[in-house]
Structure 1
Amino acid sequence: MSLGVLAQFLLHVLGSLRRRSSSKILHAFVLGAYTLSYLLVSYSLGLMQDSDDYFDEFAVWAVCLLMLLGGTDNLMACKLDDVDNWKSFHMKHLFKGVVVVVIVVLHGGDVPQFQKPLWGILCVNILQSFIRIKSMRMASKSNLLSKNVKPISDYMKGEDKRQPFSAATMKGYKYIVAGEPSLRNHGKEPAVDGPRRDKNITTVEQIYECEGSLLSSRSRRGMRLKDICLSMALSKMLNRRFAGFELGEVKASPMKTSDFVFQGLIAGDNKYERAFRVIEVELGFVYDLYYTRYPFLYQKFRYFALCLPVAMVTFCSWLTNELFKIYKITEARDIPLTATLCLMFVVTFLEAFQLYLHMASDWFKVALIRGYVTGHYLQRSGCFCHMFIGLVLRLKAPRPWVNKLGQYSLLDKYNGTRYGSNCCHFITLFLVDRAKKGRERGNLVKLSIQVKQAIIDSLIRSKGQLTNGARSLEDNGVHGLLSWACAVSDEMLIHSILVWHVATTICKHRLDAELANGGKQIAALSVEDSSAIDIAGPCVQDSSAVASNLSQYCAYLIAFAPDLLPGHSFDSESILDQSIKDARRFPLLQVTKKMEQKCKELLDPSKIIDDNDARVVAQGARLARQLMKIEDMAKRWKVLSDFWAEMMLYVAPCDDGQVRAHLEALARGGEFITHLWALLTHAGVLKRPRLGQRPPDQSKAHCICL
């Protein structure tokens, strides 16, 4: 029973943190608790039935074990395959439920005080299990295609390109926030002023037109609440891509789709913060649809679903109180009773915590906002419902993403070995994958506002026409000097990324060394001279941080998430494996293990072996030497930061066959490239142009992906 409550704790608490963290330890604990819970429950219930010793608390223990299986809302499934196997879960849970009912019938009547709260908990748990099964059916492939996604896909094909629109006010944007189940004939009704508008359908346009006090456009909080609904509508666009449907609004009105991002989402004073906040919440909705039970809060029985955790907390508190009364009058030390009382305290706390997560979830907030917009009486400031909605909308849940970037440095880690992972590989009988040599993760770095700014500025400059960094070199006037390092074909893209990564690493360590040496000299300068140095310093440091973070993040994706990058993951892994082997055998890297000395050796022109050497390290060193010829340090780092921002945008779009990799990555903590992929999807950039092709004319910029 102690292990059962521990597993329940892991599923309740760590399950809510799973989508925020890429920690393998956290995911291992969650997966272990999720996988072993069925075995633990089966074994414990069998012991209770076969035990010769009888305890009055058997019925309480059995019900608590059943809560472990069906009572966790924030972790419906660990992997996508679990969702499609919902019938298997249904049968296993039905069998366990029958066994628990038998135990409660046989032993629950021995303590009359336990009967009512026990049966109450059991009934609520059965209903929660029904909701879990319903949620899994909603997210299953067959149901998702036929009932949720297909009607929206048909509905959005009827977008009227002649209708006026404004991305700044969302005027004319009929993206569906809610109500798709009410679409008749799968969204194929005749068009009347655009697609036929059902009174049960709520669109982004309606949300942004509402000027009630809670959603006032003059209020920063009101605009953030509207943006939550916008995130919900955008998540439905991603779900259509996951299901393999075309985006009808992109085909019907590419200019309108493009303007939504360029004139709306990334326009205005807070464009760097707002765009990524909307995408972050949107991907949270996508994760919840496939991996949690929260989407049920958005159905017609959402208030009934919210009542279940309230009822569960009430019945658990009632049972805990009855146990405490018996405990107080017991003279002798009753170990089973004491243990049961402690366990019920923990269970009650976990259910109260889950109730809070229910009410603070973005799903429930969107449901309240939708009711607020459609029910005009709720917009009266004096009514109780208005005050209650305003109070609930202030509740805060954990952020859906940790907001950090993974890092990997080829020059620093090419000779590293993860002995801990290899030991786990053998101890677990190969359940844990063996770590490849030379692949050791660096420390996570925070996604800074400077990185967001560089990405958004690069996207604005591109106007939707993505290149592999060549445009940034042209804009900075160094295309003739450095263009040789840009990939000329899709097959060479990963190789080119690693070359630029090595060059950036060398330049960053050279900069750090110069700053360290310069710090000693600044102390001897006059106040005027030192202040002049400080003025130029922050610009260089910001650009170098952007370039270094994005460079190591791209290398991290090649090493640990190649399925999110262009091309086949096998090709990316093979190129990195060969680069690691070459680095181990590279003569200039045999001199020392210190990074500063390695970079110094690679930058030394007197030790050049062959400028035509095709190895990644050799070409990276050659590129670094050419970058160092740019004497203006600020310009040098602007070249690198602009290049990496443009490269991140170029590798973000993916083919329809690769979109599932982004959905699976959300369950592992999420990746920044998924955010960029979603942002470009909403701009209508669904595919990257193949290298070697001439970019489309400016007049056709909005049709680049069609």
Structure 2
Amino acid sequence: MFKFSLSIPFNIKLLWDKWNIRGSILFSLWLQVILIFVAPIRKSARKKLVITLIWLAYLLADAAANFAVGLISNSQRNPDKNSDPKLTQNGDLLAFWAPFLLLHLGGPDTITAFALEDNQLWQRHLLGLVFQAGAVIYVFFQSLPNHKLMFPTVLMFFAGIIKYGERTLALYRASLDKFRDSMLKKPDPGPNYAKLMEEYAFKRSAELPTTITMTPEPDKETRASDTPPKEGDLNHLEVVHYAYHFFRTFRGLIVDLIFSFRERDESRDFFTRRSAEDALRVIEVELNFIYGSLYTKLEVVYSGLGFSSRFLAFGFTLATLGLFYFKTKDDFRGVDVGITYTLLLGAIALDVIALLTIIFSDRTFTQIKNPERPSPKALPAAFVFKTFLALKKPWWYPCKCTSGCRQHVLATPLAFRRWSGSISSHNLIRYCLESKKESIHEFPSLSRIVCEYIFDLLGLKNVFHCLTKICEVIGKNLGDIKEKLKILRQPFIMFLRLFMEDTVDEFLFVSREPFTKDLWEFIFEELKKKSEFADTPETAKRISSARGDWALTDSDGDHNNLLKYVSDVPYDESILLWHIATDLCYHAEKENGDNSAEKKNGGYRVKLRHFSKTLSDYMLYLLVFQPTMMSAVAGIAKIRFGDTCEEAKRFFKSRSLRPNEDKKACEQILSVNTDVGPEEVKGDRSKSVLFSASILAKELEREDDPEKKWMIMSRVWVELVSYAASHCRANTHAAEVSKGGQLITFFWLLMAQFGLGEQFQINEGHARAKLNVGK
């Protein structure tokens, strides 16, 4: 009988026994270095792979530190005969290494929680702090009475406790319950109604002619704002100051608090005076303050004891380095001394980097006064701060789109971006045809921008364009080869789709569109126009609840034939109808989008088409792949999407349509006779809306002015996104801030700044009642 035995070679066992503790500690330190540098880019990363790698490092960091503490504790309790005898016998060195792992469990300042739910686990981290501190103390006492590094060990233990305590406190303060409690005002019982009515009844019983007059009570909120609105453009520091002011005012949005109309009026007055770009800059910084409060140690560091505890821990680490440096180390192996210095210098380096991160954080800039006119002594520092803030300002780069129209796309480098600057796109027709991913614009390459600038300075602009053309040809050929090689991965993809269909579909069919300046200006102006009508709570609520009907009724002409596609159908059905209709109209005009008449108007019709297409594909992406953001309005979206896809696939198969024939597919859909609506001949068991959307597209095509047609569609899409933004749970918006950010979150915050929504419910405040006794 055949026997199979698996054994680990003795040399490998010996190597593991010799290096398991050393390797685990160094691995833990390496993870800390990765996290402190890489964790901040997750709020601006465009690819999910980057966020996944940060998530992996975040989990491994805690696991590695806990594992190393366990190994040290176990080696002290039960020495292995195969382990390194010098390291095993030298328990004082192991006891000295153990507090470094407490330091690592405290984590870097740049990340305390990976997801919003991690903040709710602060009790677990508090328990972990107690147990890990106990394990370190146990290791320390195991090394007695011959502990040669007693004082350095004690100092590092206190430094580790401080860092781990900071992280636990940061998680506690960022938990939603505590976050809400920190913003709740003192309970307000209002005027003493019972006492007033007792006096009123007493005077009436004495037959005194008594009346009650009401006068508004002076409100403390009527005082002037600390940051009054400024006319004109904002400088870099003013952007941070105003953003912090409105962050302090509106951070209660995250936990669904209500606000007064005075707060709304102040915010609306400020944003109506701003340009679209300045409003974008302020909202970017506001979202970064939300990110810092919920996912980093920012709030703890800037608290009352934050700076003192930070410098105390840093002082302990420096003192430990000094004591170890002057300590006799003849009893220790050279490699162990090197590891110890690596741990000490690594801890100091991490603290210095954390200090620099604090110095150059937006929170620090809120404390700087008037950097535009610095004193001569402060010129170097002011120049450094202004340059750093200037680098974080949105960079716009002109880029040609597929229709030849030139638009400015967000090209801020990754290290300075405050969010991803990208919009995810999913298209139903492209998905059903299994066409390759495509986008209207390309993401600008930083290296290309720099090379173009250098060639331009050298007067070699034509050479650069020639090289660009050559690179495009090479890239196209490589792309064709890549497409042909895709057939090799099909079996693997089919296998993965059995277990993770949505993840594979997102990888294969979801593309990313760069954020354009024109799109933001259009969104800003549309929401600003709506805010002008929101003078009363009822009007603000009605406008923010519009699902496209506001755009249709507010436009010139009679569009009652289109109202039923937004008012009389569920929201998720409305998105699918307008998504397919937008695609049908988009491909119907794709050939003649850049004609001479269009150029006379600056390509505005082309831009409107792009706005509609971008928002349409984005909303389908949210509906299909971000169900948590759409849970309040999605309904049976998954069923409706699946039924529509099945009908589209059957139709495309009957017409022998192949991948990448999107335009032809749209023409075939529009060619189907729809004189009798599909709901009249198919019943309602299938929730497909494919040919209902075709009827909507034909209704839109009847518009005489193509530009007006695309204006209507663009405005409808702005309202559809606005509706979803205002009905999405606030903590879901906060959760997306740490994953690159979502355009819908910018809608949500901008609507709040303009006073659109249901969160403004305090209108008049208290009233003061006065008893008047007549003669």
Distance 2:709 2:233 in 1: 42
Distance 2:324 2:557 in 1: 72
Residue matched to 1:281: 285
Instruction: Note if 1:602 corresponds to 2:667.
Output: yes
User: Which moves more between the two structures, 540-549 or 224-233?
Assistant: 224-233
Residue matched to 1:95: 131
Residue matched to 1:543: 608
Residue matched to 1:406: 424
Residues 568 and 218 (structure 1), Cα distance of their counterparts in 2 relative to 1, 3 Å cut: closer
Residues 448 and 152 (structure 1), Cα distance of their counterparts in 2 relative to 1, 3 Å cut: farther
Distance 2:315 2:663 in 1: 64
Distance 2:373 2:155 in 1: 38
Cα-to-partner distance string for 1:239-298 (whole Å, 9 max, x where unaligned): 4xx1x4332x1xxx3xx4554354321324x2x112232222222222332222111133
Residue matched to 1:636: 709
2:239 is matched with which residue: 218, 224, 234? 224
TM-fit CA distance, 1:414: 3.1
Residue matched to 2:440: none
- Structure 1 contact 296–302 (Cα < 8 Å) conserved: yes
Distance 1:411 1:353 in 2: 49
Residues 436 and 488 (structure 1), Cα distance of their counterparts in 2 relative to 1, 3 Å cut: farther
Residue matched to 1:363: 363
Q: Secondary structure at the match of 2:226?
A: helix
Residue matched to 1:246: 258
1:503 is matched with which residue: 561, 564, 581? 581
Residue matched to 2:249: 234
Residues 306 and 545 (structure 1), Cα distance of their counterparts in 2 relative to 1, 3 Å cut: farther
Letter in 1 for 2:252: M
Letter in 2 for 1:449: K
TM-fit CA distance, 1:80: 3.2
Residues 435 and 220 (structure 1), Cα distance of their counterparts in 2 relative to 1, 3 Å cut: closer
Residue matched to 1:455: 523
- Structure 1 contact 10–29 (Cα < 8 Å) conserved: no
Residue matched to 1:83: 119
Instruction: Note if 1:682 corresponds to 2:753.
Output: yes
TM-fit CA distance, 1:85: 2.5
Residue matched to 1:136: 171
Distance 2:219 2:376 in 1: 36
Letter in 2 for 1:560: F
Letter in 1 for 2:748: W
Distance 1:590 1:315 in 2: 78
Structure 1 length as normaliser, TM-score? 0.72
TM-fit CA distance, 1:22: 5.8
2:651 is matched with which residue: 586, 592, 596? 586
- Structure 1 contact 413–438 (Cα < 8 Å) conserved: no
- Structure 2 contact 427–620 (Cα < 8 Å) conserved: yes
Identity %: 19
Distance 1:345 1:425 in 2: 47
Residues paired across the two proteins, number: 604
Structure 2 length as normaliser, TM-score? 0.67
Cα-to-partner distance string for 1:110-150 (whole Å, 9 max, x where unaligned): 997x776665444222212222222222223443344x121
Letter in 2 for 1:205: S
Residue matched to 2:732: 661
Residue matched to 1:29: 53
TM-fit CA distance, 1:208: 3.9
Residue matched to 2:12: none
Letter in 1 for 2:551: S
Instruction: Note if 1:266 corresponds to 2:272.
Output: yes
Distance 2:363 2:186 in 1: 19
Instruction: Note if 1:621 corresponds to 2:702.
Output: no
Q: Secondary structure at the match of 1:591?
A: coil
Residues 60 and 513 (structure 1), Cα distance of their counterparts in 2 relative to 1, 3 Å cut: farther
Distance 1:379 1:535 in 2: 41
User: Which moves more between the two structures, 61-70 or 449-458?
Assistant: 61-70
Residues 509 and 196 (structure 1), Cα distance of their counterparts in 2 relative to 1, 3 Å cut: closer
Q: Secondary structure at the match of 2:185?
A: helix
Instruction: Note if 1:488 corresponds to 2:567.
Output: yes
Distance 2:648 2:323 in 1: 65
Residue matched to 1:5: 29
Letter in 1 for 2:658: K
Distance 1:139 1:9 in 2: 24
Residues 486 and 570 (structure 1), Cα distance of their counterparts in 2 relative to 1, 3 Å cut: closer
Letter in 2 for 1:450: D
Distance 2:571 2:103 in 1: 51
- Structure 1 contact 406–556 (Cα < 8 Å) conserved: yes
Aligned counterparts, 1:404-443, within 5 A: 404-414=422-432, 416=434, 435=503, 440-443=508-511
Q: Based on CA coordinates, which of the two structures has the bigger radius of gyration?
A: 2
- Structure 1 contact 653–677 (Cα < 8 Å) conserved: yes
Letter in 1 for 2:651: F
Q: Secondary structure at the match of 1:564?
A: coil
Residue matched to 2:185: 151
2:107 is matched with which residue: 60, 71, 78? 71
- Structure 1 contact 135–293 (Cα < 8 Å) conserved: yes
2:619 is matched with which residue: 538, 545, 554? 554
Distance 2:658 2:758 in 1: 42
Residue matched to 1:571: 636
TM-fit CA distance, 1:582: 2.5
Q: Which runs of 5+ in 2 are unaligned?
A: 1-23, 192-215, 393-415, 436-489, 535-542, 680-687, 765-775
Letter in 2 for 1:194: D
Letter in 2 for 1:136: L
TM-fit CA distance, 1:619: 2.4
Residue matched to 2:68: 44
- Structure 1 contact 19–667 (Cα < 8 Å) conserved: yes
Letter in 2 for 1:506: L
Q: Secondary structure at the match of 1:406?
A: strand
Cα-to-partner distance string for 1:413-457 (whole Å, 9 max, x where unaligned): 13659987886788xxx7x78648689552222221111111122
Q: Secondary structure at the match of 2:656?
A: coil
- Structure 1 contact 487–496 (Cα < 8 Å) conserved: yes
Instruction: Note if 1:671 corresponds to 2:677.
Output: no
Distance 1:81 1:419 in 2: 37
Q: Secondary structure at the match of 1:405?
A: strand
Distance 1:399 1:316 in 2: 38
Q: Which runs of 5+ in 1 are unaligned?
A: 159-190, 198-202, 210-214, 519-529, 689-699
Residues 141 and 15 (structure 1), Cα distance of their counterparts in 2 relative to 1, 3 Å cut: same
Distance 1:30 1:109 in 2: 42
- Structure 2 contact 112–171 (Cα < 8 Å) conserved: yes
Q: Secondary structure at the match of 1:206?
A: coil
Letter in 2 for 1:544: R
Cα-to-partner distance string for 1:454-475 (whole Å, 9 max, x where unaligned): 1122123323424322333345
Distance 1:313 1:421 in 2: 51
Instruction: Note if 1:445 corresponds to 2:518.
Output: no
Distance 1:335 1:357 in 2: 32
- Structure 1 contact 415–438 (Cα < 8 Å) conserved: no
Aligned counterparts, 1:288-367, within 5 A: 288-305=292-309, 307=311, 311=315, 314=318, 334-337=334-337, 348-366=348-366
Distance 1:677 1:383 in 2: 43
Distance 2:701 2:324 in 1: 70
Residues 341 and 415 (structure 1), Cα distance of their counterparts in 2 relative to 1, 3 Å cut: farther
C-alpha RMSD of the superposition: 4.5
Residues 501 and 605 (structure 1), Cα distance of their counterparts in 2 relative to 1, 3 Å cut: closer
- Structure 2 contact 162–313 (Cα < 8 Å) conserved: no
Distance 1:632 1:651 in 2: 29
Q: Secondary structure at the match of 2:220?
A: coil
Cα-to-partner distance string for 1:16-47 (whole Å, 9 max, x where unaligned): 22233364323333333333434322322232
